[in-house]
Amino acid sequence: MAEVLRMRHGSNAGQPITRRDGVLKVTGQARYAADNHPPGMLHAVLATSRIARGRVASLDVDEACAHPGVVAVMTPGNRPALAMHPDDKSVPFSFRLDLLQNDRIRYAGQPIAVVIAETLEAAAEGAALLAPRYEVEPVEVTLDADGVFVPPAVGVGDPGEFRHGDVEAGLAVAARRVDATYETPMQFHNAMEPHGVVATWDGDALSLDMPTQGFALTQMRLAALFGIEARDIHIRSPFLGGGFGSKLLTGPQVLGILAARLVGRPVKLVLRRDQMYGPVTHRAPTRQRVRLGATGDGGLTAIDHHVRTAVSRFDEFFEPAAGVSRALYAAPAIATTNEAVRLDTGTPGFMRAPGLASGSAALESAIDELAEACGMDPLDFRLRNYAEVEPVTGRPFSSKALRECYAEGAARFGWAGRPLLPRQMRDENGLLVGWGLGTATFPSHMFQAEARAVLRRDGTGVMETGAHDMGQGAWTALAQIAADSLGLDIEQLEFRAGHSALPDAGIAGGSGHTATAGGAILAAGEKVIARLTELAVSDTRSPLFGAGNIGVVPRHGRLVRWDDESRSEAFADILTRAGLDQIEENGTAGSAAAAEHYAMQAHGAVFAEVKVDPDLGQIRATRLVGAFAAGRVINPRLVRSQYYGGMIWGVSFALHEQAVLDPRSGRVMNADLAEYHVPVNADVPSLEAILVEEEDPHVNALGIKGVGEIGITGTAGAIANAVWHATGVRARQFPIALERLVSEAELDQAER
């Protein structure tokens, strides 16, 4: 092994190639879980609770069973036994599940029975015929509920309380202060593909078509629940119709697996859209009080970020919204604290940019308010408080091209010359125009992964890892990394992913999948090439004989001398002469050792323009420019798409989406895609994403950071700030609704 690891830049990584699964997806041939139909398959439909707390007093099972085509009704009375109670959390990363363990109801939309029938129509009708009666108990579903408590930890191991320096002293000496409270709503992932499963039992072996963002986690959880071996659970998930965190942990699809057990035939269970507003996790609501202080010249003296969030009555996940305040701006004193209430809702969980989406919406708004208080341009203010090192630890960043993001984004957007005061700009139709800025950030995660590489005598290669493609482009980006690791043109490489019998690729989450699975791929490929090199350089018949000390590089299916391009040998010739059919190696990846010494984050700057109707308050985001630095880019076409998607989620966060709960019944009142607003095409402004160059020698072997979640983080705040700049109204409640701008004639007041 050479002393200095030379990063190989092959012909594939960095290229904007189109998606390798593109033809399958545009022709309808990409097979999602619910597209499977094994022989003898039955259809299952969930019956879900219309109340949020109490118990099921009765179900008309006879009526349902009498309906033609209905094969069985699964209730707590006949549900097959499980080896582990659904509330047992001894398996890592498991949430409590509602698997018909009793007649209790702990949130609206909880499954209370499963109807299994020969046809989907019969199963749906059977579920309707169950006509449940309930014993109803009073519910609490707002952040003002009683029983506020301080969680010991939030998110995944984030401290519940964190204090660096003396915040109160910092606020006391400040010349300018902001003390503002922001609210963010409960949100649901709403992946286009509803959660589904096609389950087939063969004895104690289980075969599943089921979308998942983590094969190994899912296998482990199911193995414990059913008391079977993880290796006997085979999951196929070649394509996920979106996940956004909701398909990471095992959910109500277990009921489909139980139904298949009950009837002894394959069963398909797909949630209805309205059933995705309960048992598949959500982004918890937050109320965030942000207190900031600054010196007269705009230097931060303190950041105090306090979050109240909500969790279900029966499980734990606390939205880690304050964490962003420890990472973004330099301040001598920073405190992040959390509290929570328990509500009669499903358990919240990971939703695209957990913590950071909500937290940065509040922090970026507050920073803007402080810039205003200091009479400074919001960009100048952010540069004045630029964190050269991680604010609370003093660790250096492994790389941080945020300054370049600000500069390139501002130039492209045309930020210079922005009026300092609000309500200064109108378009040709008299609409108020505002410009706002938000800083984006997301930590660079690495998980554990393995990959297997094979180089075959015919000069082709195979790379295998159980990666998940939920739209981020794993089929393409990982294949690019794989081809480079083996020095092959991508057409010479067979890339296998998307099922659980392959080496564990870790999870598709935390924006860490490409780095993690890609790291394992790189390691596997390099080991194969190392063995191949050994064969060549020690063989007197090879043109590469004796090149060991100089080194060789793999390129287009040949090993080439580092110092002399004319001396090379084809992989196939090396293997043939050695009498080998193939070389196979495994590679692994895990947390970077450098994580101890460096803070590792991607950064970005998002510039937003909004237009607001001065009479009606209608808000439109009209223009977004995001500039992001996330290390090395494997495929710029796909990375741009990730940024666009994240920025659109930011638009959605700022202006559209919100689950509205009825405080009396505890039900989500807008549990469908007509009333739970997500952006449609006409809602999406002119979008631009700039890929800012950033080289990171520390973050991981590939030098890449995640790109899937960062786009949402700067955007929501940028839009809120632009709305203020247009109107002079600080709308501190997300989503920003027109009634907030016109209520109490706020617009007029701002005018005066």
Partner 1 sequence: MSVSVTFTVNRIPRTVDLDDPRVTLLDLLRERLDLTGTKKGCDRGQCGACTILLDGRRVNACLALAISHDGADIQTVEGLSAGGALHPVQVAFINHDAFQCGFCTPGQIMSAIGLIEEGQAGDDPERIREGMSGNICRCGAYRGITEAVVEAASVMNATRQEDAA
Three-state DSSP class for 584? strand
Choice from 52, 108, 122, 366 touching partner 1 (CB under 8 A): 122
Measured CA to CA, the distance from residue 270 to residue 678 in angstroms comes to: 22
CA distance 103 to 109: 14
Q: Cα 414–399–301 angle (5° rounding)?
A: 70
Q: How far, in Å, CA of 410 to CA of 638, rounded?
A: 23
Contact call for residue 19 and partner 1 (CB under 8 A): yes
Q: With contacts defined by CB under 8 A, name the span among 29-37, 321-329, 416-424, 490-498 that binds partner 1.
A: 29-37
Nearer residue to partner 1 within complex by CB, 495 or 649: 649
Instruction: Closer to partner 1 by CB, 182 or 649: give it.
Output: 649
Separation between Cα atoms, residue 323 and residue 307, nearest integer Å: 10
Question: Contact between 241 and partner 1 (CB under 8 A)?
Answer: yes
**Pick 9 or 31: Cβ nearer partner 1:** 31
Interface with partner 1 (CB under 8 A), residue from 279, 645, 706, 714: 645
Nearer CB in complex with partner 1: 105/719? 719
**Residue 194 interacts with partner 1 (CB under 8 A): yes or no:** yes
Given the complex with partner 1, which of 120 and 580 has the nearer CB atom?
120
Options 363-371, 382-390, 435-443, 674-682: segment touching partner 1 (CB under 8 A): 674-682
What is residue 324's DSSP assignment?
Answer: G
Please identify which residue in 191, 311, 528, 610 interacts with partner 1, judged by CB under 8 A. Answer: 191
Q: Which of 648, 699, 702, 716 binds partner 1 (CB under 8 A)?
A: 648
Dihedrals phi, psi of 471, to nearest 5 degrees = 120, -15
Is residue 190 involved in binding partner 1 (CB under 8 A)? yes
Residue 291 neighbours by CB under 8 Å, 6+ apart: 167, 171, 177, 178, 179, 302, 303, 304, 306
Please select the residue that binds partner 1; options are 26, 131, 173, 550, rule is CB under 8 A: 26
CB of 734 to partner 1, least distance (A): 18
One residue of 37, 231, 597, 664 binding partner 1 per CB under 8 A: 37
CB 680 → partner 1: shortest distance, Å?
4
Among 38, 242, 299, 543, binds partner 1 (CB under 8 A): 242
Token digits of residue 203 = 């004895």
**Per-residue x/- track, 459-498, partner 1 (CB under 8 A):** ----------xxxxx-------------------------
Q: Would you say 35 or 316 has its CB closer to partner 1? A: 35
Between 2 and 682, name the residue whose CB sits nearer to partner 1: 682
Q: Which residues of 448-461 are buried (b: 16+ CB within 10 A; e: fewer)?
A: bbbbbbbbbbebbb
Q: State yes or no: cis peptide before 735, omega within 30 of 0.
A: yes
> Tell me, what DSSP letter sits at residue 187?
B
- Is residue 673 within the footprint of partner 1 (CB under 8 A)? yes
Pick 27 or 540: Cβ nearer partner 1? 27
Cα 256 to Cα 26, 157, 296, 458, distances in angstroms: 29, 32, 62, 44
Shortest separation between residue 187's beta carbon and partner 1, angstroms: 12
Of 17 and 529, nearer to partner 1 (C-beta) is: 17
Q: How far is the CB of 338 from partner 1 (least distance, A)?
A: 29
User: 348 and 316 in contact (C-beta within 8 Å)?
Assistant: no
Paired with 553 in beta bridges are 560
Structure tokens at 485: 């690791």
* Residue 735 contacts partner 1 per CB under 8 A: no
Q: Which of 372, 408, 694, 709 is catalytic?
A: 709
Closer of 282 and 342 to partner 1 (Cβ) = 282
Which region, judged by CB under 8 A, interacts with partner 1, from 256-264, 269-277, 448-456, 577-585? 269-277
Taking contact as CB under 8 A, which single stretch among the options 117-125, 434-442, 505-513, 555-563 is the one that binds partner 1?
Answer: 117-125
Q: Do 139 and 312 touch, CB atoms closer than 8 A? A: no
Specify the residue, 190 or 516, whose C-beta has the smaller distance to partner 1.
190
Of 21, 319, 369, 372, the residue at the interface with partner 1 (CB under 8 A) is 21
SS (H, E, C) 85-140: CCCCCCCCCCCCCCCCCCCEECCCCCEEEEEEECCHHHHHHHHHHCCCEEEECCCC
Q: Does 30 bind partner 1 (CB under 8 A)?
A: yes
Q: How many helices (H) and strands (E) does the chain have?
A: 16, 29
Please list the residues that pair with 178 across neighbouring strands: 292
* Two structure tokens written together for 282: 């959500």
The binder of partner 1 chosen from 7, 389, 411, 684 (CB under 8 A):
684
Q: At what angle do helices 710-727 and 356-373 cross, to 10 degrees?
A: 40
* 311/655 with CB nearer partner 1: 655
DSSP E strands, 237-356: 267-270, 286-294, 300-312, 334-343
Q: How far is the CB of 624 from partner 1 (least distance, A)?
A: 10
Of the residues 617, 626, 646, 706, which one makes contact with partner 1 according to CB under 8 A = 646
Asked if 710 and 690 count as a contact pair (C-beta separation under 8 A), the reply is no
Phi, psi values for residue 671, rounded to 5°: -85, 55
Please give the helix or strand (H or E) that residue 26 lies within, else none. helix 22-26
Per-residue string for binding with partner 1, 56-85, x by CB under 8 A?
------------------------------
Task: Quote the CA–CA distance of 710 and 690 in Å, as a whole number.
Answer: 13
Asked if residues 713 and 442 have their Cβ atoms less than 8 Å apart, the reply is yes
35 touches partner 1 by CB under 8 A: yes
DSSP one-letter code for 661: B
The answer to whether 513 touches 467, Cβ cutoff 8 Å, is yes
Give the nearest distance from C-beta 117 to partner 1 in angstroms.
Answer: 11
Any catalytic annotation for residue 372?
no
Rounded to a whole number of angstroms, the minimum distance from the CB of residue 424 to partner 1 is 27
At 639, the amino acid letter reads V
- Which of the ranges 99-107, 240-248, 489-497, 741-749 carries the binding residues for partner 1, by CB under 8 A? 240-248
Count of residues that interact with partner 1, criterion CB under 8 A: 63
Please select the residue that binds partner 1; options are 678, 691, 737, 738, rule is CB under 8 A. 678
Cα–Cα separations (whole angstroms), residue 460 to 215, 581, 629, 697: 27, 11, 35, 31
> Within a 10 A sphere around the Cβ of 134, how many other Cβ atoms?
17
Contact of 444 with 705, CB cutoff 8 Å: yes
Is 121 among the residues that bind partner 1 (CB under 8 A)?
yes
Residue 414 CB partners (closer than 8 Å, separation 6+): none
Under rule CB under 8 A, which residues in 615-644 are in contact with partner 1? 637-638, 640-642, 644
- Residues 6+ away with beta carbon under 8 Å from 536: 542, 544, 545, 547, 552, 559, 569, 574
Q: C-beta of 647: minimal distance to partner 1 in Å? A: 7
Catalytic residues: 709
Residues that bind partner 1 (CB under 8 A): 18-19, 21-32, 34-35, 37, 43, 119-122, 125, 190-194, 239-242, 244, 270, 272-273, 469-473, 637-638, 640-642, 644-649, 672-674, 678-684, 687
